[in-house]
Amino acid sequence: MKAKVRKIGNSFGIIIGKKLLEQAEVKEEVSLSIEDSKIIIEAVKSNPRAGWEEMLLKAKSLEDTEFLEDFENEFDKTEWTW
């Protein structure tokens, strides 16, 4: 597929057809890179928490067994009512 490079302000752009964007699963954002004089356009997956569990396991944050639920203070014992 060929596309014409167009001037947009001080930059340049191309029009990418809807079917091509759908096939590449492009939603709202793309990642641009250059490899061997080629411009690579990749869809950015929109999962902001991707990889968090793996990072927390590496940091051993998910191994904590003591939680604040077991934390008692004087206010809880005398002032708080359900």
- 34 contacts: CB under 8 Å, gap ≥ 6: 40
Task: Delimit the domains of the chain by residue range.
Answer: 29-82
pLDDT per position as a tens digit, 24-66: 989 888 999 999 999 999 988 777 787 888 888 888 766 665 6
- The whole-model pTM stands at 0.49
Burial 27-56, CB ≥16 within 10 A → b, else e: eeeeeeeeeeeeeeeeeeeeeeeeeeeeee
Quickly tell me which residue has 């950015």 as its tokens.
44
Q: With beta carbons less than 8 A apart as the criterion, state whether 79 and 72 touch.
A: no
- Helical ranges in the chain per DSSP H: 18-23, 52-58, 74-78
pLDDT per position as a tens digit, 1-32: 889 999 999 999 999 999 999 999 898 889 99
